[in-house]
Amino acid sequence: MKIAMLHGPRDLRIEEHPLDTNLSPTQVHVQTQVSAFKIGTDRGNYEGAEPVAGAPDYPRWVGDSNLGIVVATGEQVTGLSIGDRVVSRQPHQSEYVAEESQGLVRVPVGVSSEDAVWSHLYTLSAFCYRKAHYVPGEAVAVVGLGVLGLGAVALAPYLGARVVGIGNHETRLQMARDIGADAAFMWDDEDLQEKLNDFTGGIGIDLVILTANPWPAWRTACQIVRPEGRVSVVALPGRGEPPLDFNPVSMDWFYGKGISLIAVSGQAADQYPARSGDRFDAVRTCEHTLGWMQRGLAPSRLITHRLPFERMAEAYEMAYEREKTMLGVIFQW
């Protein structure tokens, strides 16, 4: 099989690795059609930012949004069949063998592969709402308009939210408007707070979803949320950033406003747990996201680049250069 391996900062190679396709009874063999570039996290890995907890050392695989076709199944596999399309958290690679129970989710008929490949990432966007106990009708601001942030914007109509996008480039603001943002503003707009007050009728932003790592984005999120509001943090604050020039838990913002800072990781608290297991496990939530795609959610609208996998390093270099016109990138296998 072919797989993308990162050997060090900015040293990405497509390599040929052996793959044992003699399946155990519970395994499936999948051939990749497309994989998607998760720009924020993968760019940090590529440029050599401090590693995320639990990440492998170099050389390491990259990517975690894979869509492929099942080409063989073990005799005890019951939920998947040859010919099914599946999405997984597998890396950028041409094929793989995995246990059926390893988070493989079948793509329903009617959902395009270019939409479905983003389903795990959009599921994370939805988790930002659920982890913060979002209530329909609340005013939401999304700070950081990459794929993850724009996913949170696109989900707002499905969740009953009024949403404003806050970014650092007019191209991204227009993308936010195009996919359903009620408003979109630059993060350094001198009148930002006044505009947000107008947007909310003076009530203020109930929930901020923070998807951008830079510390200025953190500061913006804490400043714009209303007193007693919540900041749902799916970013890796400060990763790859220079030392701070301000207190990230300023008494004025954190204690004085009484805000809640919520890390979007682990599991969401379930107030009414089911006896049959986690209702919001990775497979069920991804299936829910794919259901939204059946009803019109279309991440493929944000695709700006379709590249053969051999040109993957070009995309990573564009991300390294912070190319703002690049957003949704898929690699074709």
Do 193 and 248 share a domain, yes or no?
Answer: yes
Residue indicated by tokens 């199944």: 73
CATH number reported for the structural domain that contains residue 253 in this entry: 3.40.50.720
Lowest mean pLDDT among 83-87, 97-101, 253-257: 253-257
263, 292, 313 - which closes a domain:
263
In what side-by-side order are the strands of the sheet with 2-6?
Answer: 12-16, 2-6, 60-61
pLDDT of residue 34: 98
212, 229, 263 - which closes a domain:
263
Total number of domains in the chain: 2
Helix (H) or strand (E) holding 159: helix 147-159
Q: What are phi and psi of 168, to 5 degrees?
A: -120, 15
Domain membership flag for residue 268: no
Domain membership flag for residue 318: yes
CATH number reported for the structural domain that contains residue 318 in this entry: 3.90.180.10
Domain membership flag for residue 272: no
pLDDT of residue 49: 72
| Full residue range of the structural domain in which residue 248 is found | 133-263
pLDDT of residue 237: 87
94-117 per-position pLDDT tens digit: 999 999 999 899 999 999 999 999
165-213 per-position pLDDT tens digit: 999 999 999 999 999 999 999 999 999 999 999 999 999 999 999 999 9
One DSSP character per residue, 133-158 reads T--TT-EEEEE--SHHHHHHHHHHHH
Do 105 and 195 share a domain, yes or no?
Answer: no
Do 147 and 254 share a domain, yes or no?
Answer: yes
**Res. 54 pLDDT band, cuts 50 70 90:** low
**Res. 52 pLDDT band, cuts 50 70 90:** low
Domain membership flag for residue 127: no
Could you tell me the pTM of the whole model?
A: 0.92
Do 138 and 101 share a domain, yes or no?
Answer: no
DSSP state of 296: T
Do 85 and 139 share a domain, yes or no?
Answer: no
